[in-house]
Structure 1
Amino acid sequence: MSRVLPSTVAGTVEHERTVNRSRFIATVEPVVDVPDAERVVAEVRRRYWDARHHCTAMVTGVLGDQARSSDDGEPSGTAGVPMLEVLRRRDLTDLVVVVTRYFGGVKLGAGGLVRAYSSAVSEALDQAALVRRAERTRATVAVPHAEAGRIDNLLRDWAGHHDATFDTPEYGATATFSLWVPEDALDALRADLAAASAGTLVPESGPTRVVDLPDTTSGA
């Protein structure tokens, strides 16, 4: 069975909450690596240059195996690590979260800070559209132009029902269709194509790679 990997976010989200007059502004952004995450942190620092703290948490790598966090002057363990724990619990990677704090004059205490920073991240992620990732195997099929329209429709529908992705078709001497298919669905694809073409169309299996899939459970 194809391996399911940590998800990421589809785009930037910003969310603000106020706790005892302190403003907590959470910025969530997808990134490709640590330098990209550091670029985002620097941009947030420039945008909110007058804030007291810019606490961060980032997870990168296809497997989510690289993680960093910073309390940025808050008491140790009250900001960055709790923020990172939220990302871990949600099984996310290739993203950075910066929570900017404007101090409101009332100290929150260690427990209050942990709750404030964790909640800021959780509430921002609740608004984020997610992108699932999974390993998929490439399957290609060459189709005569006379049959291209019918097979195009069939394969798009098949992909939607089998958690596969459909590449842009290529047109040359024949129409070439490529799908990225769960490994355990390859036999079903072969059977369905054979049934639709009286056995004349046979997909060729190719390499396996990680692909992005829309997250159907995300509410954003």
Structure 2
Amino acid sequence: MQATYKTIKTDGLAETEIKKSRFLCHLKRVTSEEEAKAFIQGIKKEHWKANHNCSAYLIGERSEIQRSSDDGEPSGTAGVPMLEVLKKNDLINVCVVVTRYFGGIKLGAGGLIRAYSHAVSHGLQTVGLVMGKLQQEISLDLDYSLLGKLQNSLPETTIKETIFAEKVTVICRVDEEQVENFEAEIIDLLQGQVTITRGATGYEEIPIE
């Protein structure tokens, strides 16, 4: 599993108008090519009256699957520029479809490239991005007398839950590559008066401002 990844925060839709043409950017998180193709077909069915439904997607931990379609626009003026925007943002597991309703004014090859690129960039700004970090759950069992000392030393975002029983159990989420250092620091801080248990590993998604 990779340590980090970037993708869109949520599925969504963003609209822009350029020289009377409407560009609707549909965005969706996907984990397979089948899912991406189904999304594209769904948009085409919904917007069957549109002049074009151009698409691009990146799938896989290292973007092993990359596809784009101009859907009738001049070759290289829509799908590839859309794909390039996704790649420049280092995104994975995302599919975008830009629906164009022609407004009567031709944009030319350069204008089309700029328009489709802008539509995707605007779409990404609208839905937002997240950074997924591979983290491990760490449970710390300690006496009540040590809780304040622990809380004062840990960032607020590290502590996910505190359970009060015979002892206090503090559940933390730590970046996987920092687990050993974290455990060593806790043992040193509490002078060994703590029981550490490692839990499940998973991704924590953090919004990118």
Shorter-chain TM-score category?
0.7 to 0.9
- Deviation, 1:187, is 1.6
Answering whether residue 181 of structure 2 is matched by residue 214 of structure 1, we say no
Larger CA deviation: 112-121 vs 7-16: 7-16
Letter in 2 for 1:186: E
Larger CA deviation: 3-12 vs 173-182: 173-182
Answering whether residue 194 of structure 2 is matched by residue 201 of structure 1, we say yes
Mapped partners of 1:72, 1:210: distance in 2: 38
Q: CA offsets per residue over residues 147-186 of structure 1, 9 Å max, x none? A: 4x948x83995462xxx684x7899998583534242353
CA RMSD for the aligned pairs?
3.3
1:77: which partner in 2? 76
Answering whether residue 141 of structure 2 is matched by residue 143 of structure 1, we say yes
- Deviation, 1:40, is 1.6
The answer to whether the Cα contact below 8 Å between 1:52 and 1:102 also exists between their aligned partners in 2 is yes
Does the C-alpha gap of structure 1 residues 67 and 159 become closer, same or farther in structure 2, counting only changes over 3 Å?
farther
Answering whether residue 151 of structure 2 is matched by residue 154 of structure 1, we say yes
Letter in 2 for 1:85: E
Does the C-alpha gap of structure 1 residues 32 and 48 become closer, same or farther in structure 2, counting only changes over 3 Å?
same
Q: How many residues align?
A: 207
Question: What are the equivalent positions in structure 2 for 1:29-48 lying under 5 Å apart?
Answer: 29-48=28-47
Letter in 1 for 2:141: V
Q: Secondary structure in 1 aligned to 2:116?
A: helix
Name the structure where strand makes up a greater proportion of residues: 2
Question: What are the equivalent positions in structure 2 for 1:60-209 lying under 5 Å apart?
Answer: 60-136=59-135, 138-141=136-139, 143=141, 147=144, 150=147, 154=151, 157-158=154-155, 160=157, 166=160, 175=169, 177=171, 179-184=173-178, 186-195=180-189, 197-204=190-197
Q: Secondary structure in 1 aligned to 2:127?
A: coil
Larger CA deviation: 85-94 vs 104-113: 104-113
Task: Extract unaligned runs of 5+ from structure 2.
Answer: none
The answer to whether the Cα contact below 8 Å between 1:5 and 1:63 also exists between their aligned partners in 2 is no
Alignment TM-score, normalising by the size of structure 1: 0.78
The answer to whether the Cα contact below 8 Å between 1:165 and 1:181 also exists between their aligned partners in 2 is no
